[in-house]
Structure formats: structure tokens, C-alpha cells
């Protein structure tokens, strides 16, 4: 179902934070020299948007080892999950300038820590995404039925920089042709002394003139002699002086359409690029070019190379450890999307439970080998790994797509464990026609008691086997409820 595209939250760095980032990028300082200012500036920026009442919930954001990008992504993830009232495990990122390999690796690492997968498989250009968000390039060509080639100018004007790109739209295919950026003429530069204002305007005009200089002769085919479409994005895109410069360069037609429709009335330029990426991601999913299953499988295979296929998914699960000394449950620090997978390795066909941790680099992986490893209670799923007992709390809605998912996940785990046990006993794979049935409604056989020599899960927990365990009932199921309730109350209003 298409729920549309909405603007949820904006979190930006302060001017000092951007100056630190720039000095690091230009090699003026080493990361170690900037370390103290780096973290203190970032966390002060984040805390400006987060009320003091959330300090206990967000202590890890203030840890000296937390990268600033992780804190920002985590804040946006929390706001989005609160808005949607469901866990978020898929995202895409856009930037005006593109990413270097080192930056891509860093972002991949931080996204993985948060349990977020990228739908489009790459980091996208904000300028190109904004063009798609404004119903270009395909709409006029397809509606008119006439082949058409156009020049589209996209401009990102923010506090940090002025960025411009010239794109060629050839019958619905969009290609970038020129790209220029100057980090010294962003809106913050206008805060300097007045004698410099004319020089700043001149520099901005020169950059835009250079990127739109005509005729465009290096494209390999004939192009129009003017820019026919204009798209503006950025937190200072509604600057009147910028629009006046653009009117001089591209003419009043494209600029007038901006004033009448896109940026000034219907679309927030801060979110335009993100809207375009969201639309592209949905289009890609709808077209089946890269399904969620393929994305999930590729992510899991990086951590567990023997993963063959995904059998079942739960959007969000929390892993607890049973402490026999305290006779209670403790958080393991692992939570995120849960997968039941089939593995193919040296031991042949197998099954495993995998929780992709959004809170750290340690994921939860447990191989299902015997039926008595799994115990499904009224509220939780209990798994045994040797002498260690894990409890899984699985997010499910009273009504919605995740309703009843805990029972379904538990049933699937039990079936997989039974299948793995049968394969281990017979030394071969289960094939169609063999006399073996899984627990599947009334057709399956009843769950057997614990195997000889195997510890009883309920006995380990000090509970009768056929009664719900009060120890499990004591798990704090509202461990994130305070945060979610806050965002719902505030409407995720972080802007």
C-alpha cells in the first residue's frame, strides 16, 4: 500500500560543527586533534533538539566513542519509527556532492549498526533526486507522446554551500552533465561584513553562469539552446537574491514556475530530495528490480556466509539473557530485525535464528539443531544454546501486519529445529515423500518432551514445563515505550 511521502524531522549541525568538518576534510587538522571539539560540538547540537527528559534514554548518544553521524542517524530513525509506529529497517541517503569511498564505507558501517538497509543499493545525488520529486523527467514526454530533449538546472543552496548541476533529460532518461560546488559562498557567508556582500553575489552568479554556459557542445548530440526546467533545494532555496540571479541566467519562465508552484507553495525544499529518493525506492520495489528479500539475503550473507535463503522475518525483536543466579532476565544489548534462515555448509542443510543488531556490531546468531531448544510461551520465545538461555521479545501490533507474528515465528523456529534434528539423525536432507511431518496445524505431530540427556528449558527457568513462566513475564516489554510515547506526543516535531 502506498502511504505517500511525508516530512518527519530535520536535524542539522551548527555552524561550528560544519567548520570542524570542513577543516578535517581539507586536512588542516587530524581527527585526534579535533576529537574533543568534534564530539562535544556534535552532542551539543543533537541535545538542542532532544528534551532533557530523554537524557536517560539517550545516554549512548553522549558516549565519547559514538560517531556524530551515528547520533544523527539514530535520532532520525527514532523519529521515523515513532511517526510510523513500527520499526524502521530500510533507508536511503542523498547528498549534493556524492560520497568518497571512505565516506561510503563509514556510512555503510553506521547504517549496519542501526540495522538499516539501503533500498537503492547506492548513495544518490540530491540534485537528481529533487528532479524526480518534481515529476521530471518523464512526465511531459510521456503525456505528450513527443520525443523531447531538455536541459534541467538543479540548484542546492544551503547554509554550507552553493551547489549546481546541469542535467540532460533525453526522452525520459536523465543524465548529469555538469556539476559545480563552492563551500565558501553558502548562506552563512552572507553573515560577514557588508563590503563582501557584492563579492559574494558576484561569485554566486559566476558559478551559476559557468554551469549553465551555452551552447552545450560536448554531449555528443544536439541539445536545446536554453535551460527549460529549474529545480531548487536546500534550507536557503527561497532566497530572493538567488532567484533574481537565476532569472537573469535562465530566463523568467523557469524561475516563474518556481515562484508559482514548486518551492514557494507546495514542496518544502529541505525535504524535496528525500521525497524524490522515497519515490524512486518505491518505484524500484514495485518494479521488482531489487526485492526486499534480495536485500535482506545479501546483508545476512555478509555476516553468515552459509546463509542459503530466508524463511521468515520479524521486523523487530529484543534478545534477553537468563541469569540463573539472579533468576531473572537481563538485556543482551542486541535488538533489531529477526530472520529465520536456512544454511548450507559443511554440515549440510541447517537452520539458524539471526537478529541483525541495530545497537552494535555484535549480532545474535543461534543454530537450530534440536526441537527442545525452542519453547514458545504466551508472550515470548525461549531459546537454549548449551547452558545459555535466551528470551526473544518480538514486536507485534494488536491489529496490523505484525499481528500474531510472535506465534508464527515461534512455530517456524520449532518446525526448523525439528527438521534439523531429523536431518541430523538420518544423515541426509528431508525430501518430499519421506515420512516426516512438521508441526503444522492439526496435521503435525505433538511436541515431544525433552530428549534424553538434554536440559529442560522450563526446568532451567525453575518453572513447570506446561505453564507460562513468570520470570519471562517480568521482562520489561516497554523498554522503548517512553521514547516512542514522547515522539507520538510531540508529533516527531524536531524541526
The cell numbers describing 239, all together, are: 532566497
Q: Taking 90 as the threshold, does the pLDDT of residue 189 lie above it?
A: no
| Cell 538497509 -> residue | 117
Do 77 and 117 touch, CB atoms closer than 8 A? no
pLDDT band at 436 (very low <50, low <70, confident <90, very high): very low
Predicted confidence at residue 416, as pLDDT, reads 92
**Of 12-26, 108-122, 425-439, 474-488, the least confident:** 474-488
For residue range 66-77, list pLDDT tens digits in order.
566 777 777 777
**Of 9-23, 85-99, 204-218, 291-305, the least confident:** 9-23
Mean pLDDT value across residues 31-42: 47
Q: Domain residue spans in the chain?
A: 15-88, 126-285, 293-485
Do 249 and 223 touch, CB atoms closer than 8 A? no
Distance CA 102, CA 106 (A): 6
In DSSP terms, which residues pair with 233 in a beta bridge? Answer: 156
Mean pLDDT value across residues 203-220: 78
Is residue 81 classed as helix, strand or coil in its secondary structure?
helix
pLDDT band at 346 (very low <50, low <70, confident <90, very high): low
Mean pLDDT value across residues 169-180: 74
**Of 130-139, 148-157, 217-226, 453-462, the least confident:** 453-462
| Cell 587530524 -> residue | 30
Higher-confidence position of 310 and 479: 310
Residues 6+ apart with CB under 8 A from 181: 96, 97, 161, 162, 163, 164
Other Cβ atoms within 10 Å of 2 Cβ, number? 7
Q: Which of 470, 266, 454 is nearest to 374 (CA)?
A: 454
Other Cβ atoms within 10 Å of 128 Cβ, number? 23
Three-class DSSP labels, 307-318: EEEEEEEEEEEE
Chain-centroid distance of CA 415 in Å reads 32
Higher-confidence position of 197 and 209: 209
Residue 31, CA distances (Å) to 22, 38, 113, 237 in order: 12, 8, 21, 32
Residues 6+ apart with CB under 8 A from 260: none
- DSSP letter for each residue of 173-198: EEEEEEEEEETTSSGGGGGS-GGGHH
The cell numbers describing 348, all together, are: 549440510
For residue range 276-334, list pLDDT tens digits in order.
777 777 666 665 544 556 667 878 888 888 898 888 888 889 999 988 888 888 889 89
Is residue 83 classed as helix, strand or coil in its secondary structure?
helix
Is residue 377 classed as helix, strand or coil in its secondary structure?
coil
In this structure, the strands spanning 173-182 and 374-376 are unpaired
CATH class for domain 293-485?
A: mainly beta
In DSSP terms, which residues pair with 390 in a beta bridge? Answer: 321, 383
Mean pLDDT value across residues 332-349: 84
Half-sphere exposure for 190 (CA within 13 Å, toward CB): 17
In this structure, the strands spanning 90-91 and 117-118 are parallel
The cell numbers describing 462, all together, are: 525453575
CATH class for domain 126-285?
A: alpha beta
**Cα R_g (the chain), whole angstroms:** 27
Mean pLDDT value across residues 35-57: 48
The cell numbers describing 301, all together, are: 550473507
Predicted confidence at residue 268, as pLDDT, reads 64
For residue range 360-393, list pLDDT tens digits in order.
778 999 999 988 899 988 878 999 988 889 999 9
Distance CA 314, CA 332 (A): 18
- DSSP letter for each residue of 184-234: TSSGGGGGS-GGGHHHHHHHHHHHHHHHT-S---SSSS---SS--EEEEES
The cell numbers describing 174, all together, are: 536523465
On average, the pLDDT of the chain sits at 69
**Of 29-33, 172-176, 412-416, the least confident:** 29-33
Amino acid at each position: 500500500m502506498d502511504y505517500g511521502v511525508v516530512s518527519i524531522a530535520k536535524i542539522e549541525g551548527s555552524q561550528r560543527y560544519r567548520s570542524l568538518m570542513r577543516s578535517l576534510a581539507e586536512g588542516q587538522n587530524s581527527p585526534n586533534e579535533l576529537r574533543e571539539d568534534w564530539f562535544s560540538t556534535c552532542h551539543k547540537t543533537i541535545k538542542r533538539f532532544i528534551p532533557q527528559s530523554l537524557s536517560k534514554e539517550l545516554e549512548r548518544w553522549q558516549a565519547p566513542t559514538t560517531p556524530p553521524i551515528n547520533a544523527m542517524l539514530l535520532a532520525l530513525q527514532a523519529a521515523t519509527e515513532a511517526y510510523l509506529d513500527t520499526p524502521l529497517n530500510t533507508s536511503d541517503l542523498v547528498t549534493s556532492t556524492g560520497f568518497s569511498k571512505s565516506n561510503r564505507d563509514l556510512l555503510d558501517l553506521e547504517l549496519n549498526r542501526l540495522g538499516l538497509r539501503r533500498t537503492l543499493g547506492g548513495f544518490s545525488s540530491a540534485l537528481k533526486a529533487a528532479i524526480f520529486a518534481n515529476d521530471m523527467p518523464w512526465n511531459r514526454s510521456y503525456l505528450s507522446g513527443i520525443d523531447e530533449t531538455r536541459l534541467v538546472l538543479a540548484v542546492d543552496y544551503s547554509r554550507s554551500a552553493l551547489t549546481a548541476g546541469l542535467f540532460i533529460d533525453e526522452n525520459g532518461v536523465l543524465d548529469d552533465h555538469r556539476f559545480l560546488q563552492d563551500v565558501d559562498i553558502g548562506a552563512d557567508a552572507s553573515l560577514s561584513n557588508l563590503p563582501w556582500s557584492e563579492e559574494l553575489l558576484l561569485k554566486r552568479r559566476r558559478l551559476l553562469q559557468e554551469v549553465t554556459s551555452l551552447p552545450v557542445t560536448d554531449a555528443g548530440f544536439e541539445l536545446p539552446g536554453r535551460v527549460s526546467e529549474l529545480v531548487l533545494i536546500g534550507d536557503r532555496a527561497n532566497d530572493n537574491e538567488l532567484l533574481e540571479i537565476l532569472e537573469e541566467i535562465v530566463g523568467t519562465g523557469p524561475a516563474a514556475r518556481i515562484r508559482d508552484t514548486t518551492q514557494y507553495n507546495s514542496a518544502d525544499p529541505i525535504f524535496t530530495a528525500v521525497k524524490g529518493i522515497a519515490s524512486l525506492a518505491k518505484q524500484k520495489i514495485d518494479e521488482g528490480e531489487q526485492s526486499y528479500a534480495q536485500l535482506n539475503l545479501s546483508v545476512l550473507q555478509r555476516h553468515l556466509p552459509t546463509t542459503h535463503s530466508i524463511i521468515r522475518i520479524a521486523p523487530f525483536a529484543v534478545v534477553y539473557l537468563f541469569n540463573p543466579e539472579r533468576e531473572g532476565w537481563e538485556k543482551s544489548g542486541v535488538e533489531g530485525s529477526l530472520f529465520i534462515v536456512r544454511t548450507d555448509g559443511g554440515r549440510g542443510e541447517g537452520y539458524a535464528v539471526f537478529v541483525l543488531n541495530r545497537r552494535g556490531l555484535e549480532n545474535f546468531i543461534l543454530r537450530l539443531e534440536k526441537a527442545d531448544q525452542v519453547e514458545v510461551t504466551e508472550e515470548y520465545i525461549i531459546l537454549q544454546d548449551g547452558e545459555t538461555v535466551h528470551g526473544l521479545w518480538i514486536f507485534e501490533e494488536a491489529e496490523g501486519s505484525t499481528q500474531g507474528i510472535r506465534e508464527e515465528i515461534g512455530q517456524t523456529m520449532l518446525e526448523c529445529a525439528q527438521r534439523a534434528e531429523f536431518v541430523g539423525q538420518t544423515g541426509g536432507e528431508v525430501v518430499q515423500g519421506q515420512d516426516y511431518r512438521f508441526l503444522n496445524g492439526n496435521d503435525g505431530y505433538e511436541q515431544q518432551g525433552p530428549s534424553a540427556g538434554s536440559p529442560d528449558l522450563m526446568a532451567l527457568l525453575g518453572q513447570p514445563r506446561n505453564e507460562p513462566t513468570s520470570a519471562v513475564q517480568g521482562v520489561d516489554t516497554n523498554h522503548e515505550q517512553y521514547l516512542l510515547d514522547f515522539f507520538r506526543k510531540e508529533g516527531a516535531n524536531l524541526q
